[in-house]
Amino acid sequence: MNPINAGPIMEAKAKERLYHLVDQVPEDEVHTAERFLEYLSATHDPVLRSLMAAPAEDEPITPEEEEAVREALEDVAAGRMHSLDDVKKELGL
């Protein structure tokens, strides 16, 4: 019998085995096991799968973009910025 299409009884036994394995995970590995199970659960989402398979950004940053980032960081450091909430209040939104 193919374990992938084993049916509800085999699936219930597999989940029971997983519960047993989770109970045996050492305390210092609980978060690792949790992240791994979250990853397995999330990879069924087609949008997430597409994002995970997307190529890395390979377009170089232009000098103009570097300058814009530098100016933005200077504005933040100098306090020349407004929160979204402040802007909404000012615009009456």
Domain count, the chain: 2
Closest listed residue to residue 93, CA positions, set 84, 28, 82: 84
Whole-number Å distance between alpha carbons of 54 and 46: 12
Is the pLDDT confidence value at 7 over 80? no
- CB of 43 within 8 A of CB of 49? yes
What is residue 29's predicted lDDT score, i.e. its pLDDT?
94
Question: What percent of the chain has pLDDT above 90?
Answer: 47
Name the band, by pLDDT with cuts 50, 70 and 90, for residue 21. very high
Range(s) of the domain holding residue 36: 7-53
Name the band, by pLDDT with cuts 50, 70 and 90, for residue 1. very low
Do 23 and 42 sit in the same domain of this protein? yes
* Backbone region of residue 60 per phi and psi (left: phi > 0; alpha: psi in -120 to 50; beta: other values): beta
Each residue's pLDDT tens digit, 52-65: 788 888 889 999 99
Whole-structure pTM over 0.85, yes or no? no
Asked if residue 70 is part of any domain, the answer here is yes
Do 18 and 49 sit in the same domain of this protein? yes
